[in-house]
Amino acid sequence: MSASLDTMLKAPGALVECDDDPEAVYEFLCSKGWSDGLPVIPPTPERVERMLSYCDRDFDQPVIKVPPRFGAATPIRVAANAVMAGCKPEYFPLVLMALEAMNQEQYNLYGTQATTHPCTPMLIFNGPVAKEVGLNSGHNVMGNYFRANAAIGRAVRLCLVNIGAAIPGTGDMATAGTPCKFTFCVAENEDNSPWEPLHVELGFPRDASTVTVVAAEGPHNVNDHESITPEGILTMVAGAMPSTGANNAYYEGQPVMAFGPEHAATVASGGMTKKQVKQWLFDHATLPLSKFSKEGIERRFRRKLAEQFANAPLDTPVHMWQKPDDLIIIVTGGAGKHSQWVPTFGNTRAATSALKRADGELVHSIQELKRG
């Protein structure tokens, strides 16, 4: 351990003592409010040091300040939470990358942290780093079992709680929340996608590694075992999207349509591009204004959205997002005729960061960030 890191890890207030029995550690951390309710790995100085072995930044300089407390997310603090979450050291740059993305103004981190809405960071990884660290992009991609997905997403959530003080009822005001607040981390199944991957669509080189962060609700399944045409699949998808309670109907958010590979192959079989799919779904995923409550029509549409709806008849279609290109399309998951519709907080935009060195240069492998 270097002298400077040793000093930082053992500075006054940096260490607490606890019985090393796993149950005692669990009870202690829960009593302090430092857990997500599940058992964690104790973040000892030795474990934190190992976690930082893939960090090329100043250990005590904030990567971001996390609201609502605006706590300083220094690499040391982030590393402690990554240890607790069960991350391997090679996962650590991906945790930092996700936090950096959430720091972009359009993501609205303060709003997404403090809202009553049940949103949570959905991490979408692209590029070679996903395979390098073993991120799952196939069967059960949004579920349990895979360590990289579970631990990386969990580490980000622990940082939001322990550094940012997103504590339920004080900093995090979610009315009901969502199980996805434990972790929501996927990789795009680029090998089985008929379209360009998300990061290429966003202008990054194909060999870049990126994370796109979306303030998402939990996924809603779209089951279609019958349709065999692009229009058939898209009709079923468009039918699953409309909801009077969807924030994206009011705000300029960016919801996610995560096509399963089989559905994606059918949709693309007629040559439809992503842009054409977005336009088709924008045009068809609508509800008539009459479906909303009288109070909602008057207070939301007639007043706040007066430019569009001040004098609109009740049969006017309400789109489920504001512009066709606001829809994010990815392909992820394994075999099976299912896709996932993921609405968002609405008052937020997706944010993307690429894997870079501290000097800003893109890297193509986690190994390029290894110290020593």
Sign of the alpha-carbon dihedral angle for 165, 28, 58, 363: negative
Answer whether the bond into residue 313 is a cis peptide, omega within 30°: no
Burial of 271 (0-12, 13-18, 19+ CB in 10 A): exposed
The string of pLDDT tens digits covering residues 109-124 is: 999 999 999 999 999 9
Cα(187)–Cα(264) distance, integer angstroms: 16
Alpha carbons 33 and 12: distance in angstroms, whole number: 20
Q: Are 215 and 156 in contact (CB under 8 A)?
A: no
Contacts of 51 (CB under 8 A, 6+ apart): 79, 80, 82, 83, 87, 89, 92
Is residue 99 within 8 A of residue 159, CB to CB? The reply is yes
Would 271 be classed as within a structural domain? no
Mean pLDDT of the chain: 94
Q: What is the pLDDT of residue 12?
A: 61
pLDDT at 13: 62
Report the side by side order of strands in the sheet with 210-216. Answer: 185-187, 120-126, 210-216, 351-354
Q: Are 188 and 124 in contact (CB under 8 A)?
A: yes
Could you give the angle at the alpha carbon of 206 between the alpha carbons of 202 and 207, nearest 5°? 130
pLDDT bucket at 106, cuts 50 / 70 / 90: very high
Within-domain flag for 348: no
Going by pLDDT thresholds of 50, 70 and 90, the confidence category of residue 17 is confident
In a domain, residue 239? The reply is no
Coil vs helix vs strand at 349: coil
On the question of pLDDT at 321 being above 80, the answer is yes
**pLDDT, position 1:** 45
Please tell me what DSSP assigns to residue 215.
Answer: E
**pLDDT class of 5 with cuts at 50, 70, 90:** confident
**Distance (Å, whole) CA 328 – CA 338:** 17
Residue 57: per-residue pLDDT = 93
pLDDT tens-place string over residues 284-312: 999 999 999 999 999 999 998 998 999 99
Q: Where are the beta strands (DSSP E) in 59-155?
A: 64-66, 71-73, 120-126
3-class secondary structure, 318 = strand
Band of the pLDDT at 18, cuts 50, 70, 90? confident
Q: pLDDT category, 14, cuts 50, 70, 90?
A: low
Q: What is the DSSP string of 251-280?
A: S----EEEE-HHHHHHHHTTT--HHHHHHH
Q: Summarize pLDDT for 24-63 with one digit per residue, the tens.
A: 989 998 999 999 999 999 999 999 999 999 999 999 999 9
Question: In this structure, are residues 286 and 318 in contact, taking their beta carbons and an 8 Å threshold?
Answer: yes
**Could you tell me how far CA 285 lies from the centroid of its own chain?**
23
Residue 130 lies in a domain: yes
Residue 32, C-beta contacts closer than 8 angstroms, at least 6 positions apart: none
Model confidence at 10, in pLDDT bands (50, 70, 90)? low
Structure tokens at 184: 């929501």
Q: How far apart are CA 101 and CA 109, in angstroms?
A: 10
Does residue 123 lie in a domain region? Answer: yes
Q: What digits encode the pLDDT tens for the residues 199-232?
A: 999 999 999 999 999 999 999 999 999 999 999 9
Asked if residue 37 belongs to a domain, the reply is: yes
Q: Which residue has the tokens 């009709």?
A: 235
Please report whether residue 52 resides in a domain. Answer: yes
pLDDT digit string (tens) for 82-105? 999 999 999 999 999 999 999 999
Question: Is 202 strand, coil or helix?
Answer: coil
Neighbouring CB atoms inside 10 A of 53's CB total 14
The tokens of 347 are what? 């008052």
Domain count, the chain: 1
Q: Which residues contact 363 (CB under 8 A, 6 or more apart)?
A: 209, 355, 356, 357, 369
Query: For the CA atoms of 212, 217, 219, 222, what is the dihedral angle to 10 degrees?
Result: -110
Position 209 scores a pLDDT of: 97
Q: Is 14 exposed, middle or buried (0-12, 13-18, 19+ CB in 10 A)?
A: middle
More confident residue, 49 or 22: 49
Q: Calculate what percentage of the chain has a pLDDT beyond 70.
A: 96
Please answer whether residues 234 and 280 qualify as being in contact, where contact means their C-beta atoms are separated by less than 8 angstroms. Answer: yes
Please give the residue range of the domain that contains residue 159: 1-188+209-217+355-372
Residue with tokens 């990126």: 210
Domain presence at residue 119: yes
